[in-house]
Amino acid sequence: MSDNPDPVPSKRENETDSEQPPKRQRVLREKTFLKNPASPPNAVEDAEFSRCFEKVENKIGKNFKPYDMKSAQSAQTSIKYKKGDVIKFQTRAQKHSEMCAIEHLIANKHVTLTLSGSDVTVNGSEVYTVDPANFETEQPHCGYCTFILCLLGFPLGTPSQGKFNQSINLSYPIPKELCEPNIVYGTLFCKDLTLFVSFIKRHFFNNDVDVNIDVTGNNITVNGADFRKLDDFLKDHATGQSATTSRSYFIWKCFFNYLNARLNPEK
């Protein structure tokens, strides 16, 4: 007999929510399989991000430029709509102007993000066309913005591998929509399920647990049985982290930490 208790069973046909294990019992069972992720994460361990990092490096090639933003300077990003309206976004509360612009576009459904092959694709709408002339940042992008814009398929202005002032603190707010499981999977792991499962298992589960993930079916299985819905699991707070840190955002912070280790401002 296995030393590990059975995972939380999936709902049987015609079974009501009231027949599911009580929340307290479910939490106790989850604690058997889960562990506290390291904080801060160890960038050296997170080799799963190497594929997306090298993908951007190969795409930009020798076109990286110097990044020299003083602490008092603030970047500005402009988006232009089909009717000619222009909205300008300024870096605020550590959220870079590029992320403010993306947040506005996604929240208002002026663009949508979809998975296409191994890429995330940004699609325009009736009011907005995705084009370099319609998404402009006056200053060079920092390294974080450069890699994220490229991975999401947004137009790039002047790319750099520069580190901004708060990068050492992993202080880089992103739109909440980027924490959706399929976007995390497509953006940071290039839709490579092996890399995704490896990362999730190492950071969130005990070593003796067998973990499988069905991204399309939105499901995690543990030791062969249904465990949690993937989106619910990633939206939950990472055990041992701050109350505002979801597992999805913890994955992004691991990526930021990886960028800090790999970015080459002199390139």
pLDDT in tens, 184-200: 999 999 999 999 999 99
Question: Given pLDDT bands bounded at 50, 70 and 90, which one contains residue 99?
Answer: very high
User: How confident is the model at residue 1, as a pLDDT?
Assistant: 43
Say yes or no: 197 and 181 in one domain. Answer: no
Give domain status of residue 13, yes or no.
Answer: no
Mean pLDDT of the chain: 85
- Within a domain: 85: yes
Q: Which residues contact 186 (CB under 8 A, 6 or more apart)?
A: 115, 118, 119, 120
Question: Is residue 127 domain-shared with residue 160, that is, in the same domain?
Answer: yes
Tokens linked to 82: 């089909």
Query: Is the same domain home to 77 and 126?
Result: yes
Co-location of 29 and 148 in the same domain: no
Residues 177 and 73 occupy one common structural domain: yes
Residues 6+ apart with CB under 8 A from 70: none
Residue 170: pLDDT band with limits 50, 70, 90: confident
Based on the fold, state whether residues 81 and 211 are members of the same structural domain: no
Residues 149 and 79 in one domain: yes
- Are residues 100 and 180 located together in one domain of the fold? yes
Quote the distance between the C-alpha of residue 4 and its chain's center: 31
218: CB partners within 8 A, 6+ apart: 181, 229, 230, 231
pLDDT at 164: 85
Tell me which residue range forms the domain holding 181.
Answer: 44-185
Token readout for 183 is 């976007």
Question: What is the total count of domains within the chain?
Answer: 2
**pTM of the predicted model as reported, rounded to 2 decimal places:** 0.84
Mean pLDDT value of segment 210-217:
94
- Alpha carbons within 13 angstroms on the beta-carbon side of residue 71 total 3
pLDDT digits (tens, 9 = 90+) for 54-95: 999 999 999 999 988 765 567 899 999 999 999 999 998 889
Domain co-membership, 94 together with 117: yes
259 occurs within a structural domain? no
